[in-house]
Chain A
Amino acid sequence: MNYFAFSGLVNFIACAFLGVFVFNQNRKNPQNISYFILNVSVAVYSIGYFLWQIDYLGESVIWFKVLVAGIILINPSYLLFVFIFLNIIRKKTPTLLVIALVNIFFIAACVKESLWSGFVPKFGLGLWPVPSRLFSLYLVFWAFQCLYGFYYLGKNLRVGSHKRRLQIRYFTIAAFVGFIGGATNWPMWYGLYFPPYPNILISLYIAIVAYAIVRHELMDIEIIVKRSIVFAGLFFVLYSVFSLIVYISSLSYVRFTDNRFVSIIPSVIIIIIMFRPLEKYLIKITDNYLFQKRYDYKVLLRSFTNNLLSIMDLKKLIITAEEQITSIVRISNAAILVYDRHTDIFSLFAGAGDLKNKAFTLKNTAELWDYILRKDAYAVISSENKERDDIPVILVDLIKSLNSSLIIPLIYQNDVLGILSLGMKLSDEEYSQEDIDILVPVSITLSIAIANAKLFEQLSETQAQAAQREKMAVVGTLSAGINHEICNPLGIIRGQCEAFMLNYQGGFYKNKSDKELLTRSLEIMTKVIRETERASSITQKLSSFAKPSKGQMSASVSIKKELKEVIALVEHELKISNIELKDNVPDDLPRITIDTKQLQEILFNLISNAAQAIVENGEIEISGTYDADKVTIRISDNGPGIREEILKKIFEPFFTTKDPGKGTGLGLFIVKQIIEKNSGIITVNSETGKGTVFLVMFPFVEGA
């Protein structure tokens, strides 16, 4: 077998396989049928070519007729396919019929051997025909048909969607390659020395079409079962290798052995060894390069369950979800609307490009929900659906504003949580049922995550409210000291002014000069101003402290500074009970990142606790230390201490050792929550009779 025979055989196999494959994908689709016919023609040409070259049964002339019949059939079936492919078959049918008739005429001519006047061996490449004038006419007709097809393909190269244009482009290239391959045979007809090596390009035509099918869904074939592609490729490669080896060994078998079967053994061994690795390699390639357009739903599900479910901040959750969906599912845009039960409004939380900056909201959505619930949990919007009448206006508007291709409502336990809107896939594909089967559970996961985040928000609010109540209750215990701190200054102000007035009016200043009186007045005014500042300072501190904290972290907070504020609030109370408060916090204690208000609350609570434990006559000391990664605040008192069995429970909510009505017992529980919310830790140590030490640790970053 020479090279040309080989090329014919390879072409035959490739065409036959692809033709049958495409036909199998959809036996009723005219496109698939016409492609099958085209490939059958090319296969006929190829097998004829092969048999002619090997002079099978010595009947190379007959095989040559088969070959030519194939050539003649190729062009009309090519045109048929092109017209169907480009959707212009209807208006082209008359033309096509005429062309078909002409071709039938030429086939008859072929059968009758009118296309040539005989056969001669040419250039050692086998028997080639001597063309007749009729053949030259055919050649012109042949070229005309080619160009006719290319003309229409060229016209449509820029028409249609992105995917469509790619499909047309690929087929055009493939057809061009195939025709060039076949056309290199013509020179030999006319006695020009040009060994038609490019004949094998016809297989390249097949390869290009196959690639376009898999990568760009040429002929709307979705490659779902990739095994068939893998094994087809495998088979093809192996067969080629086998053929090559048989060919080579057939040249040398003469030297080694007479037995043809023995000479095949090396090939068989190679195939057995290569099979597995080749299979794996092909699967890997197909996975990586040919199926990129398919999103890995496992990645999507994993990302959702692992990452999203642990995000408790609602806004961050929604934004992350939208980003994940857009990138993993490979879509052009997505949007998530979240429903607020109190206002009955859906607000855009993430996505939709520049719509996000406007306040996009959706109101009066009862109709929308009716529609969605009737349609059983999701709504697919394809281009056909857009024209349907029963879609509520609000949904149509939503689709338009958000550029939706698919809308999935987010529902959890009969509660409406929001809407997930997905745009077009980047590959221009429509959403299939398989997509929806994956995306619906994903949206349920999202709904759960949203419900979680909302619950967490509510919980935080409840906690915050409890903390605030607790704070106010404790602040109430300061009333004595604070009152004292306000009333004393007021008393002094009033007293100083009144005394001066009464003394002056009573004539007691008769002997004082004006200058002395003026000096005295100025002294009094200075005292008044100072006492006013004293009183307003304490009222300011108190009202600032009493406000609920917003939970905003500030970087670079000085513990010493916040402690001073707290001491200003409590010192008067402590003084009255004769409790000494020692501030031994070093000035160089590193700053931490924390909510300043909450830090004050923590210190305030712990100092109040210590004071209440001591009752009277004692000492509270606050100091601080730090090491490589944390700052430790130490609050110690020399009160009665806490018994071991109680020590275990003091951080429990509602645990209190005070008399009923004298404390909610929430204090330390809330203190612990606040500390932990600020990434800190609290520990306690106590010895009855000696006192108690609380240690509060916060992380800090060097240079923060």
Chain B
Amino acid sequence: MDKPKILAIDDEDNYTEIFEEYFSLRGYDIRVETDPRKAIGFIGNERFDVILVDLKMGGVSGQDILKKVRDTDDRTKVIIITAYILSGKSKQELYDLGAYSINSKPINSLEELENTVNKAYSGN
């Protein structure tokens, strides 16, 4: 089974560093970006299978990413990772915008995250 191409967007480089090492060691093609504005830029140009994104990053929010993805390539699965405690209504909005799943920070487990990424990719 081939591995999904991943884009991880988080304004903390300590996070993106983790994802980058973890996933690339295991053979995923992963790109990380700490500036969400840049990320929005190349989402249209490059294709990603799965996007990991934080919600509130100042300037560009997770919702903006979702909308961009929906507009450009709705096969891309977006997994939200956020420290925010979201209300049911907000979560629903995100799902409506096409979010695949919503995870909380601190991330429960990298392994779990990897599972979710694969599931998203395989279309479950």
Contacts and interface: CB of A to CB of B under 8 A. Distances in A.
Interface in B39-59: 56-59
Contacts of B84: 480, 483-484
Nearest to B85: A483
Interface string B3-17: 000000000101100
Interface stretch (A266-274, A416-424, A492-500, A631-639): A492-500
Interface stretch (B66-74, B93-101, B106-114): B106-114
B36 to A, nearest CB: 11
Interface of B: 12, 14-15, 18, 21-22, 25-26, 56-59, 83-85, 104-107, 109-111
A448 B97 CA distance: 68
Contacts of B110: 495, 498-499, 502
Top 7 A-B pairs, shortest CB-CB distance: A487-B83, A491-B106, A495-B18, A491-B105, A576-B56, A492-B14, A508-B25
A496 B106 contact: no
22 contacts: A479-B85, A480-B56, A484-B84, A486-B83, A490-B105, A490-B106, A491-B105, A492-B12, A492-B14, A494-B106, A495-B14, A495-B110, A496-B18, A499-B18, A499-B22, A503-B25, A506-B25, A508-B25, A508-B26, A531-B14, A576-B56, A578-B58
Contacts of A491: 15, 83, 105-107
Contacts of A488: 12, 15, 83, 105
A454 interface: no
A166 B56 CA distance: 92
Nearest to B12: A488
A527 interface: yes
B58 A575 contact: yes
Contacts of A506: 25-26
Interface in A552-600: 575-578
A145 to B, nearest CB: 111
A487 B14 contact: no
A495 B83 CA distance: 14
A254 B107 CA distance: 134
B83 A498 contact: no
B22 A496 contact: no
Chain A at the B interface: SS class: helix
Contacts of B104: 487
B107 A495 contact: yes
A577 B84 CA distance: 14
A492 B105 CA distance: 9
Contacts of B109: 498
Contacts of B22: 499, 502-503
B111 A492 contact: no
B21 A578 contact: no
A63 to B, nearest CB: 121
Given A484-B83, A498-B109, 12 more contacts: A480-B84, A490-B106, A492-B15, A494-B106, A495-B106, A495-B107, A502-B22, A502-B110, A503-B25, A575-B58, A576-B57, A578-B58
A522 to B, nearest CB: 16
Interface of A: 479-480, 483-484, 486-488, 490-496, 498-499, 502-503, 506, 508, 527, 531, 575-578
A490 B59 CA distance: 24
Contacts of B59: 578
Contacts of A576: 56-58
Contacts of A575: 58
Contact of A503 (B12, B15, B21): B21
A619 to B, nearest CB: 13
Contacts of A503: 21-22, 25
B82 to A, nearest CB: 8
Most buried by B among A483, A491, A531: A491
Contacts of B107: 491, 494-495
Nearest to A492: B14
A531 B106 CA distance: 13
Nearest to A502: B110
B61 to A, nearest CB: 8
Contact of B56 (A484, A494, A498, A499): A484
A301 to B, nearest CB: 65
B99 to A, nearest CB: 18
Nearest to A485: B83
A579 to B, nearest CB: 9
Contacts of B105: 487-488, 490-491
Contacts of A531: 14
A487 B58 contact: no
A486 B110 CA distance: 19
Contacts of B18: 492, 495-496, 499
Nearest to A487: B83
Given A484-B84, A503-B22, A527 B14 contact: yes
A443 to B, nearest CB: 61
A586 B85 CA distance: 38
Contacts of A486: 83
A545 B44 CA distance: 45
A495 B110 CA distance: 7
B86 to A, nearest CB: 10
A508 B23 CA distance: 11
Contacts of A490: 105-106
B60 to A, nearest CB: 9
A575 B83 CA distance: 14
A101 to B, nearest CB: 117
Contacts of B25: 503, 506, 508
Nearest to A508: B25
Contacts of A498: 109-110
B21 A487 contact: no
A350 B29 CA distance: 81
Most buried by B among A499, A506, A527: A499
A543 B24 CA distance: 41
